[in-house]
Amino acid sequence: MLVPDPIRAKNFETLAVISNNNDINTLRKKIDSFGVEVIFPKELENDVNSIICCYAILNLLPRFITTVRYTGPTSILKDFPPSHISKINLGEGVWNSSVTIVFGKNTKPNSQNVLYIGSAGWSSYISTKKPCEWNPLPVNSLSALYTAGLVVGEVFKRLLPEIPSEKISHFEYDLITHGTEKQPVVEHPVPETIHFEDLTLVGCGAVGQALVFALKGITRFWGSVSFVDADKLEPSNEQRYIGAFEENRGVQKTEIISQWFAQFNPGIATFRAPMKYEEYAKLSKPLGEEVISAVDNEKTRINIQAGLPKVQWNVWTDTSQNTLRYGAGYHTIGGPYQCAACGYFPTMGTPSQMEMNAIRTGFTKEDIEKRLASNDTVTEQDTLQVAKNTGAPIANLKEIVGRPFEELLHGDCGVFRLEFHEAPAVAPAPHASFLAGVFLAVQIVLRKMKLPSSAKLMESIADFDALGIPNVNCLMKKQKHPKCFCNDPVYQDSYNKKWNITK
């Protein structure tokens, strides 16, 4: 089945960048002659982990591979719209498979290149040598989806062998200890309910969709969640978004994601903000406890951090020549490790905190220093100037007249106007953004659980090579950037006051 060219065009551009092969025609021929077979035996028809894993694999593979054959119960395909089902070969004709993906322990395919897979509890199993013998219980869709992302990554590595990569031959890994315990890790179930006091997801693209897709069915959530994104789904998204199909083109991205969440979690209040974060920040109440930035630009990530959420979860992908990475971060202003803005300073020529204040407010550095030193208060004239400089609605700024001048400098007043050079984000391969979203979903859930002493949480940054194999060293502790505004007492005090943190 030929996929319409405009959608695939972006794939070829991506692959050309990653593999440093600008010959699009050769790439195209290569992809068209690469076939993947997925075999799902009847005996697993009631195995929820395998069903979820298989669904995700069949969802993602046809987004960059043109010939995907599936042998197994068609009930797994029931949630796909017709356009997607038409991209999957259901076992007709002669078949020459480049990679065969096999679920269960009893199928021995007649193929050279086999990936045996499975998952149980918090663990993933992928092997080129022998089938997975694990008991598929307990059900945990997070590890099932993580396994799916890794397997799609293995297919990607085999499709483009010219890119340096590390292929899996035998891999048993869990998301709690990161492979340091005996596998599978089946204890520590997901709690029966999880409460989000006030969670905001900014960015409902490929990574945001993967994140919500991973979270939506795992437990009963309650509390409040908001989704912020200005964009609608467009054809080019179909090359990597798990929820983008021909049938829902033009639908708001916030709409798709909030429907998924609401459908599985009637006990949670969901809010949609179909607008840019900077607009949302001007219009809405101060940022809530937890904010996830799944956006594709540095400016918004820094603006979110400047808005002083209690916790900022950061999640990203990075594509360039011979590079395909994804990662996540857990950030606070007061903690010992990097805030979400620290990590972006090296590429921005390290403006000092005072320089950022000057950019933000339109005052000169000297003026700001003088007024801070004399414990000055905010005047109406000041708010007029800031409104003129930033375009922020004057009504939002009225509240701070008469308050200490330093309050004009932190992000809570809705003054955001940082302009930095941004390289255009290159679209990643589907497994990278998918793994990024699922990994962050896992971390958010683990933070709500009581964990054993062997658990290794992401306390600062996690950085993965999507062409490598995940391991415990991907979790890192990064120190603050010495010039970042998170070192500044003005921000630290505002943060501590906002969240009632006493030192």
Q: How far is the CB of 411 from Zn ion (least distance, A)?
A: 13
Rounded Cα distance, 333 and 188, in Å? 30
Reading the block at residue 366, the tokens are 């000297």
Q: Which of 339, 386, 436, 438 binds Zn ion (CB under 5 A)?
A: 339
**Sign of the four-CA dihedral 485, 490, 492, 498:** negative
219: nearest Cα among 271, 257, 268, 258: 268
Separation of alpha carbons 490 and 178, rounded Å: 38
| Cα-to-chain-centroid distance, residue 112 | 34
List, as own/partner pairs, every contact residues 360-363 make where C-beta atoms lie below 8 angstroms and the sequence separation is at least 24, other chains included: 360/390, 360/409, 360/415, 360/416, 360/417, 360/418, 361/385, 361/386, 361/389, 361/390, 361/408, 361/409, 361/415, 362/386, 362/388, 362/389, 362/390
Whole-number minimum distance, CB 59 to Zn ion, in Å?
Answer: 37
Task: Pick from 139, 160, 233, 486 the residue near Zn ion by CB under 5 A.
Answer: 486
Site for Zn ion in 191-250 (CB under 5 A): none
Applying CB under 5 A, the site for Zn ion has a residue count of 5
Least distance from Zn ion to the Cβ atom of residue 161, Å: 40
Strands of the sheet with 170-174, listed across from one edge: 88-89, 67-71, 35-39, 99-103, 114-120, 123-127, 170-174
Q: Which is nearer to Zn ion, 342 or 386 (CB)?
A: 342
Q: Which stretch binds Zn ion (CB under 5 A): 139-147, 172-180, 334-342, 356-364?
A: 334-342
Least Å distance between CB 420 and Zn ion?
A: 15
The interface region with Zn ion, picked from 236-244, 407-415, 435-443, 480-488 by CB under 5 A, is 480-488
- Can residue 308 be called a binding residue for Zn ion (CB under 5 A)? no
Identify which of residues 183 and 338 has a Cβ nearer to Zn ion in the complex: 338
Binding to Zn ion by residue 461, rule CB under 5 A? Answer: no
Work out how close the CB of 480 gets to Zn ion at its nearest, in angstroms, rounded to a whole number. Answer: 5
| Nearer Cβ to Zn ion (211/291) | 291
CB of 281 to Zn ion, least distance (A): 19
Q: Which stretch binds Zn ion (CB under 5 A): 57-65, 342-350, 427-435, 460-468?
A: 342-350
Record the tokens describing residue 347, joined without a space: 């590429």
CB of 204 to Zn ion, least distance (A): 26
Give the tokens for residue 251.
């639908």
The smaller minimum CB distance to Zn ion, of residues 195 and 483, is found at: 483
Helix axes 353-361, 365-373, angle to 10 degrees: 100
Binding range to Zn ion, per CB under 5 A, among 68-76, 99-107, 254-262, 339-347: 339-347
Q: Are 183 and 229 within 8 A, CB to CB?
A: no
> Are the C-beta atoms of 436 and 389 separated by less than 8 Å?
no
Shortest Cβ distance from residue 336 to Zn ion (Å)? 12
Per-position DSSP letters for 295-341, written without gaps between them: -S-HHHHHHHHHT--SEEEEEEEEEETTEEEEEEEEE-SSSSB--TT
Residues whose CB falls within 8 Å of the CB of residue 15, separated by 6 or more in sequence, listed in order? 21, 27, 31, 64, 160, 429
Closest CA to 418 of 370, 475, 485, 333: 485
Are residues 414 and 396 in contact, defined by beta-carbon separation less than 8 angstroms?
Answer: yes
Nearer to Zn ion by Cβ, of 58 and 339: the residue is 339
Q: Which is nearer to Zn ion, 148 or 342 (CB)?
A: 342
- Give min distance, CB of 463 to Zn ion, in A: 17
Report cis status (omega within 30 of 0) of the bond before 309.
no
Residue 301 beta carbon to Zn ion: minimum distance, rounded to whole angstroms: 11
**Would you say 209 or 312 has its CB closer to Zn ion?**
312
Distance separating alpha carbons of residues 503 and 494, to the nearest angstrom: 13
Q: Does 341 bind Zn ion (CB under 5 A)?
A: yes
Nearest to Zn ion of 253, 481 (CB atom): 481
Minimum distance, C-beta of residue 476 to Zn ion, in the bound complex (Å): 16
Q: Return the residue of 440, 461, 484, 495 that touches Zn ion, per CB under 5 A.
A: 484
Alpha-helix residue ranges (DSSP H) falling in 337-455: 353-361, 365-373, 380-390, 394-398, 430-446
Helix (H) or strand (E) holding 280: helix 277-283
Site for Zn ion in 158-177 (CB under 5 A): none
> What are the Cα distances from residue 418, in Å, to 157, 207, 316, 360?
38, 24, 20, 6
Task: Enumerate residues 282-301 that contact Zn ion by CB under 5 A.
Answer: none
Report, in Å, the least distance between residue 282 CB and Zn ion. Answer: 23
Binding segment for Zn ion (CB under 5 A), chosen from 44-52, 260-268, 444-452, 483-491, is: 483-491
Using CB under 5 A as the binding rule, whether residue 342 contacts Zn ion is answered as yes
Stretch of 9-17, 113-121, 159-167, 482-490 contacting Zn ion, by CB under 5 A: 482-490
CB 140 within 8 A of CB 175: no
At its nearest, how many Å lie between Zn ion and the CB of residue 341? 5
Instruction: Choose among 334, 291, 281: nearest CA to 197.
Output: 291
Tell whether residue 441 is a contact of Zn ion (CB under 5 A).
no
Identify which range of 39-47, 277-285, 294-302, 484-492 contacts Zn ion by CB under 5 A: 484-492
Nearer Cβ to Zn ion, position 339 or 400? 339
Interacting span for Zn ion (CB under 5 A) from 62-70, 143-151, 337-345, 417-425: 337-345
Q: By the criterion CB under 5 A, which residues form the site for Zn ion? A: 339, 341-342, 484, 486
